[in-house]
Amino acid sequence: MWMYALVIGVAVLALITTFLVGFSAENKKKNPNYEKKTKSNITRLTSIYAVTIILAIVAFVAVSLN
């Protein structure tokens, strides 16, 4: 059970840091075009995190059942 918490915790931490980097002032200075694509970038990254979490849970359940 602790492995579920670990995987979900790491994924949530990665999601939070992605938002922090994506909306940081320094990122806007270095890449002004990022601001124009923020919604699609964040949506894509959030989808990747969601799929990863689901696949990790499925893998842990499969391993636990064996």
Q: Which domain holds residue 37?
A: 2-65
DSSP string spanning the chain? -HHHHHHHHHHHHHHHHHHHHHT-HHHHHH-GGGGGGHHHHHHHHHHHHHHHHHHHHHHHHHHHH-
> Which range among 11-20, 22-31, 45-54, 55-64 shows the weakest confidence by mean pLDDT?
22-31
**Nearest alpha carbon to residue 50 among 23, 14, 17:** 14
pTM above 0.75, yes or no: no
Q: CB–CB of 27/21 below 8 Å?
A: yes
Q: What pLDDT does residue 21 have?
A: 79
Structural domains in the chain (count): 1
